Amino acid sequence: MNYLNTFAFQIYPYIALAVFLIGSWVRFDKSMYTWRTGSSQLLSDRGMRIGSNLFHLGILAILGGHLVGLLTPHALYEGFITAPQKQLLAMVAGGVFGLVCLIGISILTVRRLTNPRIKATGTSSDTIILLLLFLQLLLGLYTIVASTHHMDGGVMMALAEWAQHIVTFRGGAAEFVAGVNWVYKAHIFLGLTL
């Protein structure tokens, strides 16, 4: 189990990052004009505006919250906010924006799966990515439930240390997540995979 934990949370993050960077570079270099999304708004505007706006507002706030929350060193904010207060703030903000994003992606997913014109022009990759994002949001929201069992901020601090060790290329990052609940590990692993 230790080897699996080391691979998933010490080695795999760098594999995922390398695939993302090299894949993006190669695709940009070889097929620059294929970087687009097939708009389905002309096929049906119903639900598109509200679903898209809610999804994008939620996902941008969530990504920003993850970046600031995980990558800001504890020493920079410990004079202003304690670890338990930061965890509560993350739970409330993450819950609100997670639900906003979930409502938006639900509207977009139902629209994609039930509208025959959109379904006909979409690809299976579109549907798979939507469903994986939906699952990732559910896992993220469930981490809030799991966090209510330990309001001391310890797990949040361990996850932040893991992220900071990965970003700064320090060894031993996997040790920080070895003992955390499975839902955090699943959320991290799926997030890296996406």
What does the block give as tokens for 153?
């901020």
Tokens 């939620």, located at residue: 58
CA–CA dist 90, 61 (Å, integer): 11
The pLDDT of residue 39 = 55
- Mean pLDDT taken over the chain: 89
The number of CA neighbours under 13 Å toward the Cβ of 41 is 7
The pLDDT of residue 40 = 55
The pLDDT of residue 42 = 46
What does the block give as tokens for 76?
């920079």
* Structure confidence by residue, pLDDT tens digits, 34-71: 666 555 554 556 667 899 999 999 999 999 999 999 99
% of the chain surpassing 70 pLDDT: 92
* Structure confidence by residue, pLDDT tens digits, 124-178: 888 898 899 999 999 999 999 999 998 998 999 999 999 999 999 998 999 999 9
Say if pTM beats, i.e. exceeds, 0.85. Answer: yes
CA–CA dist 138, 140 (Å, integer): 5
Backbone angles phi, psi at 114, to 5 degrees: -105, -20
Neighbours of 187 (CB within 10 A): 22
Residues 6+ apart with CB under 8 A from 86: 69, 77, 153, 156
Residues 6+ apart with CB under 8 A from 149: none
CA–CA dist 10, 38 (Å, integer): 36
CA–CA dist 194, 166 (Å, integer): 17
Q: For 90-101, what is the mean pLDDT?
A: 97
CA–CA dist 186, 84 (Å, integer): 23
Q: Is the pLDDT of residue 33 over 80?
A: no
Lowest mean pLDDT among 9-23, 26-40, 68-82: 26-40
| CATH 3.40.50.1700 fits domain 2-22+45-193 | no
In whole angstroms, what separates CA 173 from the centre of its chain?
A: 19
Alpha-carbon Rg for the chain, nearest whole angstrom, is 19
Domain boundaries defined on the chain: 2-22+45-193
What does the block give as tokens for 86?
């930061």
* More confident position, 14 or 122: 14
